[in-house]
Amino acid sequence: MILCCECGATIQPNPSNMCVVCLRTHVDITDGIPKQAVLHFCRNCERYLQPPGEWISAALESRELLALCLKKLRGLKDVKLVDAGFVWTEAHSKRIKLKLTVHAQISGGTVLQQVFIVEFTIQNQMCDDCHRTEAKDFWRCMVQVRQRCDNKKTFYYLEQLILKHKAHNNTLGIKPMHGGLDFYYANDNHARKMVDFLQTMIPAKVTSSKRLISHDIHSNNYNYKYTWSVEIVPLSKGSAVCLPKKLRQQLGNLSPICLIHKVASAIHLIDPLTAQIAELSSQAYFRNPFEAICNPPQLVEYVVMDVEIIMEKDRKYYPGQGQLSFRHALCDIWLVRASELGINDNTIHTRSHLGHLLKVGDSVMGYNLAEANINNAEYDKLTTQEIPDIILVKKCFAVDRQARSKQRIWKLRHLTEDVEDQRQKMDYDEFLEDLEEDTEYRKLVNIYRDKRKLMPVDGGDTPGCNDSIPHITLAEMLEDLTLECEDDEMIGEAGKI
């Protein structure tokens, strides 16, 4: 045993000839470690700044926050960290305390252990993303979605697809423009992701451009603003088109005049005279583009006088012909215009693909090509034998559109506020009717229960409810149902029990 050279206490021999108390008095192994530091915190997104420019999410007393705090202490590389943990502080105190235990070897080979506390002060600082969001006018990338046509039903369908898949979550803002919407982004990766989504869901043509904003000649850095223009095909469900000769030969010798059955990832065509169907991809359409010759506002109402179903032995394939639709039945049909019923007894004969829906006495909507004024180069090349007098589009339900809207107990969400335009309102009402009448068409659309309207009891028992009108069942509207009730209602029900 020896005596400590400072205090004279009896100790075991060691290289420094000092006791532990005197060693801690003369030597501080934590001298190079700061006891106070600052953490920058964004209150909007609740993230911490990890230098130099990364913002990370970390909960209080979490492993991520502990790692962030230890990275702020530069002197830890000179000692050995044995233990680290949080010391409890008030959540609103803007203070985070760490209790650290370190080892270090001092002169003479003596190993010293020391425990100390580091206090971090939280300072509020808005991150770049939140700053751009608050500025509202700041954006680096813009995606312009446009559909230049008279019928906007495809655009409304695309809007529901964006809401369904939440493709608009990374936008800084959405602004309605004439003919479409503008999506603003802070990052070009988010904008490219949106463009890829649009091209996957709807046939579209994309063009891009960029504009130089600033240039640093010393570091050779360029700041650009990028713009993507997405042009949706100018076609919608229910429109009549005239196909170019080369294109209809590629599709299996379709008739020159066809109907747009639906517009999804591809353009689905149906020949009303043969019930033949074909799919047209986005690349094939923009290689040989064409426009609609008739749109739903030009539909004329007819009354069915007689129907004769055409029976086919083999409806799969014919030599030189494409696939036939099994969902439709080809028929010969005799019609009278609804406005001339009882005045003109001369019936009009045509052939239609709606034999599975129509019966004598039904109303049906169709295009009267014999009296229509059509300006189309491909249409002018057709002979009289290739142009039918009437093309039937869909069955008509003898209910006023306003009355049908009142019976609708469901609703759709929108990206922006509704535009009160009479022409757009008519297209939107037709889109809602298409959703009701076509089950396949509404599979990718989120439909919500409209709480402002009362639910009919047992369907037709409610006054003003018509069972013959296609409707959407309650099972398809469960996403917006809330099974919670107010506190007052719970108290009232408890009192009744």
Q: Are 42 and 131 in contact (CB under 8 A)?
A: no
pLDDT at residue 438, as a whole number: 85
pLDDT at residue 5, as a whole number: 76
Q: Compute mean pLDDT per 10 residues along the chain, 497 residues long, and list them.
A: 79 74 74 87 89 87 90 84 89 89 76 86 87 70 92 91 91 87 91 95 94 81 90 93 90 89 93 90 92 91 91 52 82 91 85 91 92 90 90 83 80 78 83 88 87 65 55 72 44 36
Q: Are 353 and 309 in contact (CB under 8 A)?
A: no
pLDDT at residue 231, as a whole number: 95
Task: Find the Cα–Cα–Cα–Cα dihedral 347, 243, 328, 389, rounded to 10°.
Answer: 0
Which residue in the block uniquely carries the two structure tokens 């509207």?
477
Instruction: Please give the order of strands across the beta sheet that includes 204-216.
Output: 173-177, 180-185, 141-146, 221-232, 204-216
- For 232-244, the three-class secondary structure string (H helix, E strand, C coil) is ECCCCCCCEEECC
Which of 22, 23, 26, 28 has its CA nearest to residue 75?
A: 28
pLDDT at residue 177, as a whole number: 86
pLDDT at residue 54, as a whole number: 87
pLDDT at residue 342, as a whole number: 80
pLDDT at residue 78, as a whole number: 80
Q: Which residues of 314-325 are buried (b: 16+ CB within 10 A; e: fewer)?
A: eeeeeeeebebb
| Domain ranges (residues) in the chain | 2-125, 130-232, 239-396
Distance of CA 367 to the CA centre of its chain: 34
* Triad 366, 371, 374: Cα angle to 5°: 90
Which of 197, 132, 120 has its CA nearest to residue 166?
A: 197
Instruction: Please give the order of strands across the beta sheet that includes 292-294.
Output: 276-280, 267-271, 257-263, 240-242, 292-294
At 249, give phi and psi (nearest 5°).
-70, -35
Phi-psi region of 238 (alpha: psi -120 to 50; beta: other; left: phi over 0): left
pLDDT digits (tens, 9 = 90+) for 90-141: 878 889 999 989 888 776 667 778 888 999 999 999 888 787 667 655 788 9
pLDDT at residue 135, as a whole number: 64
Euclidean distance between CA atoms 35 and 123, whole angstroms: 17
pLDDT at residue 270, as a whole number: 93
Euclidean distance between CA atoms 185 and 398, whole angstroms: 47
Euclidean distance between CA atoms 3 and 18, whole angstroms: 8
Tokens of 327: 């969902």
Euclidean distance between CA atoms 206 and 220, whole angstroms: 30
Helix ranges restricted to H, 166-305: 188-201, 245-250, 282-287
Euclidean distance between CA atoms 195 and 342, whole angstroms: 54
pLDDT at residue 486, as a whole number: 44
Task: Find the Cα–Cα–Cα–Cα dihedral 65, 70, 73, 76, rounded to 10°.
Answer: 180
Q: Are 283 and 233 in contact (CB under 8 A)?
A: no
